[in-house]
Amino acid sequence: MSTNGETIIKVDHLVRRFGARAVLDDISFNVHRGETLVIMGGSGCGKSTLLRHMIGSMTPTSGSVKLFGQEITGMTEREIERLRLRFGMLFQSGALLASLTVGENVALPLLQHTAKSPDEIEQIVKQKLEMVGLTGFEDLTPDEISGGMKKRVGLARALALDPELLFSDEPTSGLDPIMTAVVDELTLKLTHGSHMTAVVVSHDMTSAFRIATRMIMLGHGSIVAQGTPDEIQNSPNPEVQQFIHGRPDGPIPLNLSQDEHKDLQLVRPRPFLGGRFRFHHKHP
Amino acid sequence: MKNYLQLNLSLLYWILIAPFTGQFFKITPIFRQMVFIGVRAAPMVALTAFSVGVTLAMQAAHSLQSLGAEMYIPDLVIITLLREMGPVLIAVIVIGRSGSAVAAELGTMKVSEEIEALEVMAINPVQYLVVPRFLAMMVMLPALTIFGNYIGILGGWAVCTFALDFNTAGYVLRALESADTWDLYSGMIKSVVFAWIIITISCNAGLNVEGGAEGVGQATTASVVQALLAMLVMNAVLTGIFFFSA
């Protein structure tokens, strides 16, 4: 593990509350250069919220987030913008601008932030689209391509400025197995070859174990487990085992609503959903 | 309200201050918005203005003939158009057509994470999305108002020439004699103020959408209602200032 590299992200005692509910409760971890950190956890466990704190679009209730050694909580918009040029972000939906073509979407960061000539930009756009397997799609609009393609264009756009750090929100959901492998390969190539650092939020366990150098599992707002893929694979924690093997029954509650995680003991799988409980037949 | 004021301040920053720090706004998107906001609204504006011109002339004829003052019909048509009906009715058309479209477009961008994506790419949404729409509106609404005024005057001329005892020269001379430049300028000032109100309210509604498609619908409706009310109240205030204060 390249844990001896420079620390790129340092999250320290991060707490975020919405009203009385702590969506993120005392989260701390570091990400070093060249690492691929996979953040996993069930829906609504705070993964996306955590990601939004790392990119500076949400402010924590308390705690700190450092990117490239600089504290981003309390930064002015201008200062954050300067940092944002150094990282790329792939949104869950791709978040392409519907009014622009695929090529224009990828070119957008280059047009806004570099002084490159139109020819150079065209070259870069072609090259980035080729990386994600979408050669020749420049002139289509986002409406004309599938959800998986949008996501790959989003990835090409996130990589347009050759970022040092890439955030991906579920990069492989909605992709077919081959494209998932292609996107994973790309992430691996970039982190190994160009020393890019990646933070990936994912549900897709195959892909997660393929790309991760370190993994964090979130559950009800705090870190349930973290470690290398091997450590996670062999974790004795039943919640981790349930999640990575996708079992319907286990310690993870099925419905996490506003106040249920205060008292997890109450939220067990209903008898007819899991095999752990038996119907109690009344015998006469 | 806080969001609205912030939007206005940041708009002023990006238009008046940022260009001097080297962040000049791009011209192409402004022209694209001018076509959308202004040029495509021209047929509707023309039809509205013509109908209003015709209506004004007919009503004026009805009232003034009974006083034997038909010769003042062009005066009434022109002054009413330049001072009030032109700026207000054309603003109404633009609110219904372009203001709502802007609110819906920005709202959809908001709910589909596009605005957030812009921010993450270090592209300021106000600079990238609001500034071109704002500048386009500030140019096109007054332009449409002038255009509408002409068409309205043409409507008045049609009634006067074909249904009443005016000839073209008489109508034009009478009109030129009665209206002075202040009538035109006051209408222009109004339409500039309306343009500001319409586009900032629409953009603000769009950028603050929450909660999916339903939120976009609500924001669009709200933008139309708020822009209409604000515009009409502002019209009363401006008329008071221009024509009613000593």
Residues of chain A with Cβ-Cβ distance to B128 below 8 Å are: 112
Q: Residues 232-251, chain A: which have Cβ within 8 Å of B?
A: none
Residue in B with minimal Cα distance to A163: B121
Task: Tell me the nearest-neighbour CA distance from A242 into chain B, angstroms.
Answer: 32
Torsion of CA A53, A54, A57, A60, to 10 degrees: 30
Q: Does the CB of A76 have a partner CB in chain B at under 8 Å?
A: no
Q: What pLDDT is stored for residue B231 in this prediction?
A: 96
Nearest to A91 among B108, B113, B122 (CB): B113
Residues of chain A with Cβ-Cβ distance to B124 below 8 Å are: 77, 81
Task: Tell me the nearest-neighbour CA distance from A77 into chain B, angstroms.
Answer: 9
Q: Does the CB of B122 have a partner CB in chain A at under 8 Å?
A: yes
Q: Which amino acid is at B109?
A: M
Test A93 with B113 for CB contact under 8 angstroms: yes
A25-50 burial by CB neighbour count: b if 16+ within 10 A, else e?
A: bebebebbbbbbbbbbbbeebbbbbb
Between residues B81 and A42, the one the model is more confident about: B81
Q: Which amino acid is at A196?
A: M
What mean pLDDT value characterizes chain B? 91
Quick one: average pLDDT of B142-153? 94
Task: Tell me the nearest-neighbour CA distance from B131 into chain A, angstroms.
Answer: 15
Q: What pLDDT is stored for residue A263 in this prediction?
A: 42
Whether A204 contacts A172, CB under 8 Å: yes
Task: Tell me the nearest-neighbour CA distance from A111 into chain B, angstroms.
Answer: 11
Whether A242 contacts A252, CB under 8 Å: yes
Six-digit token pair at A198?
A: 């990646």
Nearest partner of A170 among A23, A16, A39, A50, judged by Cα: A39
| Integer Cα distance of B87 and B194 in angstroms | 8
CA B230 to chain centre: 12
Between residues A218 and B228, the one the model is more confident about: B228
Whether B196 contacts B126, CB under 8 Å: no
Task: Tell me the nearest-neighbour CA distance from B31 into chain A, angstroms.
Answer: 15
Test A98 with B119 for CB contact under 8 angstroms: no
Q: Does the CB of A205 have a partner CB in chain B at under 8 Å?
A: no
Q: Which of A36-45, B17-26, B41-50 has the highest mean pLDDT?
A: B41-50
ipTM for this prediction: 0.78
Q: Please state, in angstroms and as integers, the Cα–Cα distance from residue B37 to each residue in A204, A279, B88, B192, following that order.
A: 45, 66, 16, 14
Nearest to B119 among A57, A82, A97 (CB): A57
Q: Which amino acid is at B15?
A: I
DSSP one-letter code for B163? T
| Sheet arrangement for strand A62-67 | A21-32, A7-18, A62-67, A70-71
Q: What pLDDT is stored for residue B223 in this prediction?
A: 95
Query: Is the pLDDT confidence value at B191 over 60?
Result: yes
Test A81 with B117 for CB contact under 8 angstroms: no
Residue in B with minimal Cα distance to A54: B120
Burial label for A100, CB within 10 Å (0-12, 13-18, 19+), is middle
Nearest to B114 among A81, A85, A97 (CB): A97
Nearest partner of B185 among B92, B101, B83, B89, judged by Cα: B83
Whether A1 contacts A213, CB under 8 Å: yes
Q: What pLDDT is stored for residue A245 in this prediction?
A: 85
Six-digit token pair at A38?
A: 């996979």
User: What is the SS3 assignment for A142-194?
Assistant: HHHCCHHHHHHHHHHHHCCCCCCEEEEECCCCCCCHHHHHHHHHHHHHHHHHC
Residue in B with minimal Cα distance to A84: B122
Q: What pLDDT is stored for residue B239 in this prediction?
A: 93
H or E stretch at A131: helix A118-131
| Integer Cα distance of A147 and A174 in angstroms | 7
| Integer Cα distance of A279 and B123 in angstroms | 58
Residues of chain B with Cβ-Cβ distance to A113 below 8 Å are: 122
Nearest to A84 among B112, B113, B122 (CB): B122
Q: Which segments of chain B does DSSP mark as H helices, in order? A: 2-12, 28-37, 42-67, 73-80, 86-94, 100-111, 114-120, 125, 131-162, 168-178, 181-207, 212-239
| Integer Cα distance of A102 and A142 in angstroms | 6
| Integer Cα distance of B50 and A6 in angstroms | 71
Q: pLDDT of B83-127, one tens digit each?
A: 999 999 999 999 999 999 999 999 999 998 899 999 999 898 999
Q: At what angle do helices B131-162 and B181-207 cross, to 10 degrees?
A: 140
Q: What pLDDT is stored for residue A4 in this prediction?
A: 55
Per-residue pLDDT of chain A (284 residues; tens, 9 = 90+): 444 578 889 998 888 888 888 888 888 999 988 889 999 888 778 888 888 888 888 888 888 898 888 888 888 888 888 888 888 999 888 889 988 999 999 999 998 888 889 999 999 999 999 988 888 888 999 999 988 888 889 999 999 988 989 999 888 887 888 888 888 888 888 888 778 899 999 888 888 898 999 999 988 888 888 889 888 888 888 888 888 888 887 777 665 554 444 444 444 444 444 444 444 444 44
Residues of chain B with Cβ-Cβ distance to A84 below 8 Å are: 119-122
The pLDDT confidence band at residue B193, using thresholds 50, 70 and 90, is very high
Task: Tell me the nearest-neighbour CA distance from A244 into chain B, angstroms.
Answer: 29
Whether A196 contacts A164, CB under 8 Å: yes
